[in-house]
Amino acid sequence: MRYLLALPFIGLLWVPFYNHELPALFGFPFFYWYQFLWVPLTALIIWLVYRNDLKKGVE
C-alpha cells in the first residue's frame, strides 16, 4: 500500500510527460491543469494509505 505514495513523485517529476500546452481544459494549458489535478490525487492516495494503516493498527 505504501508504494502508492511513489505515484505523485513519478507523475510530477517525469516532467516531459506533461510539458505541453495541449490538450487545454477550461482555457488552462495541459501543463497547468495536469499539475493541479495531482493535488486531489495526492490527497486521495495519502488518504487510502492512511486508512489502510489504521486497519493494520500502525502506531
Please work out the total of residues on this chain that contact another protein, with binding judged by CB under 8 A.
32
Give the residue, chosen from 15, 55, 56, 57, that forms a contact with another protein under the rule CB under 8 A.
15
When asked if residue 52 is in the footprint of another protein (CB under 8 A), the reply is: no
Answer for the pair 11, 41: CB distance below 8 angstroms, yes or no.
yes
> Residue 19, Cα to own-chain centre: how many angstroms?
16
Cell triple for 16: 516531459
When asked if residue 50 is in the footprint of another protein (CB under 8 A), the reply is: yes
Give the residue, chosen from 1, 3, 23, 46, that forms a contact with another protein under the rule CB under 8 A.
46
Cell triple for 19: 510539458
